[in-house]
């Protein structure tokens, strides 16, 4: 809260205002790990943080041209004023997923607040310009599947790959929203739509390609393992010798050359598992099998990782494991677990601690059909209680012996998969009780 920029020119740096680590730069940390707190509880601050990406849209267009893209905008991997400040492109500019991360945060904010003015004023422009880049950099292969090559996903120990699952699945979501919102805005706000369309030269055939690319996005899946592969080449990499790696050789990036690390099946942080958290798009079986596969390979050398594995442990009903990851998350800076708290607090991890309660134990997912909840409660706790400001009205969720939801007006929930409208107060049993 203290570190969040309160004007459209400032944002939240990786260390907030607590230290000089990462030189005060803003990353995707804001959209994926920090914005949920603001979107769910202080939408005015959230809107301002979103607006920042609009303020730097011109610089992002320039960056796209500099990188050889004919059209669209490329959000810088790390920046303050809008210019790309990353000095190491394999784990920097190659992280194209930031374009979809920003769009994802805009869409989550919109679904939660119903703030259509944000979309009309600046949101759609950012979503469309960043979506254009996928069309410019991707292509339909011989089987007409849309491929996105030469990118780095969230896991910075696996660089410059073809078809990173996280990137592709978020790009598909991003493109679908760019297309669907165009239809919605053109019908409901024809005058304002005409202005947006003219301003950024939106073309009907471009929208049609976006729709096709979204529907035909290639998502790596390995039938034998029953998992989504992190990318096309992941399975063929060598096994990292975890047992033979001394404890004091972590984080690996400080002890091994990047090229050594890139040759192995070893993850710095959640990648495919993070996509499941954001999109909740695969079957329970695939999610659980993938989780087990990737957890074994993940070092959590990035502080952005334990909270994600914790939230997804709740999702697959491993509540004790979720609780252990939660404790790691909240103790990270209190106990200096990464031995670098002197450089500043890990603010994405702090956002992740908040998310661990709401998205992890509460099981919240914000979707077009309403608010999904799938509560699980660690045995160590008696009650979890949190409040959200959904479409301008207060929602109170209490997870104890029973699940209690209080609302100020009728709201559609999907609890443990079953739709229910709450208008006032309801008490009900829930499945994840321990
Ligand atoms: O954005 C993160 C990245 O995912 C992992 N390294 C640190 C960055 C800043 O927190």
Distances (CA, A) of 277 to 122, 208, 264, 284: 27, 28, 25, 12
Q: pLDDT class for 434, splitting at 50, 70, 90? A: low
Report the nearest-CA residue for atom 4 of ligand 1: 154
Q: What is the average per-residue pLDDT within 179-202?
A: 98
Q: What pLDDT score was predicted for residue 8? A: 87
State if pTM tops 0.95: yes
Give the ranges where 163-318 is alpha helix by DSSP (H): 165-188, 190-200, 204-215, 258-262, 272-279, 284-297, 306-315
Domains and CATH numbers, the chain: 21-361 (1.50.10.10), 370-428 (2.60.420.10)
Q: What pLDDT score was predicted for residue 431? A: 85
Atom index in ligand 1 nearest the CA of residue 302 equals 5
Pocket of ligand 1 (CB under 6 A): 14, 22, 27-29, 154, 156, 302, 304, 348
Atom index in ligand 1 nearest the CA of residue 346 equals 10
Give pLDDT tens digits for 198-236. 999 999 999 999 999 999 999 999 999 999 999 999 999
Residues 6+ apart with CB under 8 A from 284: 316
Report the nearest-CA residue for atom 9 of ligand 1: 14
Considering 125, 156, 282, 288, which one is annotated as catalytic? 156
d(CA 132, CA 308): 29
Of 15, 25, 27, 346, the residue with max ligand 1 atoms within 8 A of its CB, to mutate for a pocket test, comes to 27
Quick one: which of 176, 239, 196, 201 has its CA closest to 368? 176
Looking at the DSSP bridge assignments, the partners of residue 365 are 372
**Percentage, residues of the chain above pLDDT 70:** 100
Looking at the DSSP bridge assignments, the partners of residue 393 are 390
Instruction: Note whether 127 and 196 are within 8 A (CB).
Output: no
Phi, psi (deg, nearest 5) at residue 13: -80, 165
Task: Please indicate whether residue 198 is annotated as part of the active site.
Answer: no
d(CA 350, CA 352): 5
Give pLDDT tens digits for 247-289. 999 999 999 999 999 999 999 999 999 999 999 999 999 999 9
User: What per-residue string of b and e applies to 283-310 under the rule 16 or more CB within 10 Å gives b?
Assistant: eeebbbbbbebbbebbbbbbbbbbbbbb
Quick one: which of 282, 373, 376 has its CA closest to 326? 376
Q: Is the pLDDT assigned to residue 155 strictly greater than 90?
A: yes
Of 14, 26, 268, the residue with max ligand 1 atoms within 8 A of its CB, to mutate for a pocket test, comes to 14
The CA-based diameter of the chain, rounded to the nearest angstrom, is: 65
Give pLDDT tens digits for 36-61. 999 999 999 999 999 999 999 999 99
Give pLDDT tens digits for 385-433. 999 999 999 999 999 999 999 999 999 999 999 999 999 999 999 987 6
Location of structure tokens 């991003």? 174
Q: What pLDDT score was predicted for residue 433? A: 65
């Amino acid at each position: 809260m203290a570190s969040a920029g309160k004007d459209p020119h400032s944002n939240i740096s990786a260390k907030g205002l607590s230290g000089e680590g990462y030189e005060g730069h803003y990353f995707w940390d804001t959209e994926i790990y920090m914005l949920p707190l603001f979107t769910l509880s202080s939408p005015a601050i959230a809107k301002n943080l979103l607006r920042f990406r609009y303020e730097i849209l011109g610089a992002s267009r320039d960056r796209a041209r500099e990188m050889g893209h004919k059209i669209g905008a490329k959000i810088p991997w790390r920046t303050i004023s809008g210019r790309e400040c990353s000095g190491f492109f394999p784990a920097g500019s190659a992280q194209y997923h930031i374009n979809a991360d920003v769009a994802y945060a805009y869409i989550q904010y919109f679904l939660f607040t119903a703030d259509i003015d944000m979309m009309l004023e600046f949101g759609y422009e950012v979503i469309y310009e960043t979506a254009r880049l996928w069309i410019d950099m991707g292509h339909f292969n011989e089987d007409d599947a849309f491929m996105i090559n030469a990118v780095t996903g969230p896991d910075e120990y696996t660089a410059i790959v073809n078809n990173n699952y996280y990137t592709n699945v978020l790009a598909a979501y991003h493109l679908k929203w760019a297309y669907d919102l165009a239809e919605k805005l053109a019908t409901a706000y024809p005058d304002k739509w005409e202005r947006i369309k003219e301003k950024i030269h939106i073309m009907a055939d471009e929208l049609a390609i976006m729709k096709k690319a979204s529907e035909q996005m290639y998502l790596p899946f390995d039938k034998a393992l029953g998992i989504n592969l992190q990318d096309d080449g992941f399975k063929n990499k060598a096994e990292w010798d975890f047992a033979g790696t001394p404890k004091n050789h972590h984080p690996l990036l400080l002890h091994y050359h990047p090229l050594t690390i890139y040759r192995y099946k070893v993850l710095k942080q959640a990648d495919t598992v993070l996509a499941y958290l954001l999109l909740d798009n695969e079957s329970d079986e695939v999610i659980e099998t993938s989780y087990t596969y990737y957890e074994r390979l993940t070092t959590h050398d990035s502080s952005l990782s334990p909270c994600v594995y914790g939230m997804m442990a709740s999702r697959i009903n491993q509540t004790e494991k979720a609780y252990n990851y939660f404790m790691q998350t909240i103790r990270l800076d209190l106990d200096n677990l990464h031995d670098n708290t002197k450089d500043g607090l890990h603010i994405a991890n702090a956002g992740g601690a908040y998310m661990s309660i709401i998205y992890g134990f509460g099981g919240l997912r914000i979707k077009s059909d309403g608010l999904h909840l799938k509560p699980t409660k660690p045995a160590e706790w008696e009650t979890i209680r949190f409040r959200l400001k959904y479409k301008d009205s207060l929602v109170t969720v209490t997870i104890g012996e029973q699940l209690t939801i209080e609302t100020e007006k009728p709201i559609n929930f999907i609890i443990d998969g079953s739709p229910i409208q709450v208008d006032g107060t309801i008490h009900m049993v829930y499945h994840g009780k321990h």
